[in-house]
């Protein structure tokens, strides 16, 4: 079974307006009087893509061969990963470690002067 998207020359993520536009363009190129077989394929593909009820019915009848063609997953492009952050410096850690260092220094000084 040929994908209806391929018959109409559309990507998998095509909207209903794009489907209708492609159908009309192909019907003008292949009218039923001059190319009845080609017109029948185009019309069948348009009917399947334009009607969710027909898509579900076709998928119910032959789920293994129709599911990929009728409910195509659009191609996704991923963004490149963000560059890693620069390594932390002593200056970056000062707000976190400063109070701890001061408390440790006070503790050492108190212990040192007790004797």
CA–CA gap between residue 45 and residue 51 (Å, rounded):
10
For the record, the structure tokens of 114 come out as: 């007790």
When computed from its CA atoms, the radius of gyration of the chain, rounded to whole angstroms, is: 33
* Mean of per-residue pLDDT scores for the chain: 83
pTM: 0.55
Contact 49, 69 (CB under 8 A): no
Per-residue pLDDT reduced to its tens digit, 32-86 = 999 899 999 999 989 888 888 887 787 777 766 666 666 666 677 888 999 998 9
Domain residue limits, the chain: 4-70
* CATH among 1.20.200.10, 3.20.20.450, 1.10.287.110, 3.40.190.10 for 4-70: 1.10.287.110
């Amino acid at each position: 079974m040929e994908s209806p998207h391929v018959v109409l020359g559309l990507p998998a993520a095509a909207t209903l307006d794009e489907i209708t536009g492609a159908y009309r363009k192909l019907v003008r190129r292949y009218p039923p009087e001059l190319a009845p077989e080609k017109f029948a394929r185009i019309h069948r593909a348009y009917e399947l893509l334009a009607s969710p009820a027909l898509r579900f019915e076709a998928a119910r009848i032959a789920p293994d061969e129709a599911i990929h063609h009728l409910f195509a997953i659009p191609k996704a492009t991923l963004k490149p990963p963000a560059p890693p952050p620069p390594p932390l410096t002593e200056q970056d850690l000062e707000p976190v470690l400063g109070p701890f260092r001061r408390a440790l220094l006070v503790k050492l000084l108190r212990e040192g002067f007790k004797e």
